[in-house]
A and B are shown apart, each in its own frame.
Chain A
Amino acid sequence: AQSVTQPDIHITVSEGASLELRCNYSYGATPYLFWYVQSPGQGLQLLLKYFSGDTLVQGIKGFEAEFKRSQSSFNLRKPSVHWSDAAEYFCAVARNDMRFGAGTRLTVKP
């Protein structure tokens, strides 16, 4: 069965530090991959997506993600975190429907 795993429930980083949020998936074929961010009480905002081609994907707000087929991973990275990046981050995979990971809550220390 298809599944998405975000191993880290909560991550705390200092402002200006680098960030990596992990996402692993289990799927019969290579799915389409997404990262979303959600601020409290708000809807989802798409950060980036991977359908095919270059495995390093650039997104909005300085985020990027790398698709690694051999590891079934699609980790999200940012070289320097800003306080405004504090939010909940969801990895998602899609084919005929979309499945979300449990989410990773990012806290940014001043």
Chain B
Amino acid sequence: GAVVSQHPSWVICKSGTSVKIECRSLDFQATTMFWYRQFPKQSLMLMATSNEGSKATYEQGVEKDKFLINHASLTLSTLTVTSAHPEDSSFYICSATELTGRGNAYEQYFGPGTRLTVT
């Protein structure tokens, strides 16, 4: 249980275009979803936190107009990288916490990640 999926697993796009990444909780309802960014050989950096039906809370230094987050339902959050540039190339990982039931409210379940390459 507590499975989180991401789609696509990898994507290549041209500079200036936008790309959308989906994060889904498959077998539970997610109170909160998180988006992380990971550069090669580095740790995960939290980009933003989103609750269903609310605006996302972005970490300092993350451009909210560039990284659009939509959390339209308790099982789906999307990250759209707008006007992508090569420096946006990275590994993007989402996670979710469960609304009720098993586990701990602070435990996050992670998706497999999405590799974005901007050419």
Residues of chain A at the chain B interface (Cβ within 8 Å): 32, 34, 36, 41-44, 46, 49, 51, 90, 94-103, 105
Tell me which of B41, B49, B106, B108 has the highest count of chain A C-beta atoms within 10 A of its own C-beta. B106
B29 to chain A, nearest CB (A): 19
Tell me the minimal C-beta distance from B110 to chain A in angstroms: 5
| Pairwise interchain contact A98-B43, C-beta atoms closer than 8 A | no
Of B45, B106, B112, the contact of A43 (CB 8 Å cutoff): B112
B107 at the interface (CB under 8 A from A): yes
Given contacts A49-B107, A90-B44, 19 further A-B contacts (CB under 8 A): A32-B106, A34-B107, A36-B110, A42-B113, A43-B110, A43-B111, A43-B112, A44-B44, A44-B93, A44-B110, A94-B106, A94-B108, A96-B106, A98-B46, A98-B108, A100-B43, A101-B43, A102-B42, A103-B43
* Contacting residues, chain A, for B42 (C-beta < 8 A): 102-103
Q: Is B25 an interface residue, CB under 8 A from the partner? A: no
Q: A97-B34, A100-B44 are in contact. Are A43 and B104 (CB under 8 A)?
A: no
Which of chain A's residues has its CB closest to B49's CB? A97
Shortest CB distance B34–A (Å): 7
Chain B positions within 8 Å of A, measured between CB atoms, are 34, 41-46, 49, 91, 93, 95, 104, 106-108, 110-113, 115
Q: List 7 A-B contacts (CB under 8 A).
A: A32-B104, A42-B113, A43-B110, A43-B111, A49-B107, A94-B108, A98-B108
Contact residues in A for B95 (Cβ distance below 8 Å): 98
Instruction: With both chains docked as a complex, state the minimum distance between the C-beta of B65 and any C-beta of chain A, in angstroms.
Output: 22
Which chain B positions have C-beta within 8 A of A34? 107
Tell me the bound Cα distance from A99 to B59 in angstroms.
Answer: 12
Please report the C-alpha to C-alpha distance between residue A102 and residue B42 in the assembled complex, in whole angstroms. Answer: 7
In this complex, the member of A51, A90, A96, A97 whose beta carbon has the largest number of chain B beta carbons within 10 angstroms is A97
Contacts of B43 in A (CB 8 A): 90, 100-103
Across the A-B interface, the 6 shortest Cβ-Cβ residue pairs: A43-B112, A43-B113, A94-B106, A44-B110, A100-B43, A100-B44
